[in-house]
Amino acid sequence: MGLIWTLIVGAVIGAIAGAITSRGAAMGWISNIIAGLIGSWLGESLLGSWGPSLAGMALIPSIIGAIVLVLIVSWITSRTNK
């Protein structure tokens, strides 16, 4: 049950990051989960684990990390499509 909860929270974090950056419309739910989980790891590695926590992920650093990840990936994909 813990894995399912982690995937759900990762998807929500990825969806929030996509909505904030306005690049989430092209992302599917699997991309949201991946962005949320990798962004959570990135944010907690760089910023620490402060703030409210859910499913073992500190929410504020996780959302910031996911936003950075979405911006970097969208920048790279936009450059390769030109």
CA–CA distance, 4 with 60 (Å, rounded to integer): 21
Within a domain: 53:
yes
For residue 66, give its domain range.
24-81
Q: Is the pLDDT of residue 82 over 70?
A: no
Indicate whether 19 belongs to any domain.
no
Residue 8 falls inside a structural domain = no
**Which amino acid is present at 39?**
G
Q: In a 3-state reduction of DSSP, which class is residue 58? A: strand
Asked if residue 67 is part of any domain, the answer here is yes
Q: What letter does residue 53 receive in the DSSP assignment?
A: E
Q: Is residue 18 part of a domain?
A: no
Q: What are phi and psi of 48, to 5 degrees?
A: 90, 180
Confidence of residue 55 (pLDDT cuts 50, 70, 90): confident
Q: Structure pTM?
A: 0.80
Domain count, the chain: 1
Residue 12 located in a structural domain: no
Convert the pLDDT of each residue in 1-44 to its tens digit. 678 888 888 888 888 888 888 766 566 778 778 888 888 888 88
* pLDDT at res. 39: 85
Contact yes or no for 30/80 (Cβ under 8 A):
no
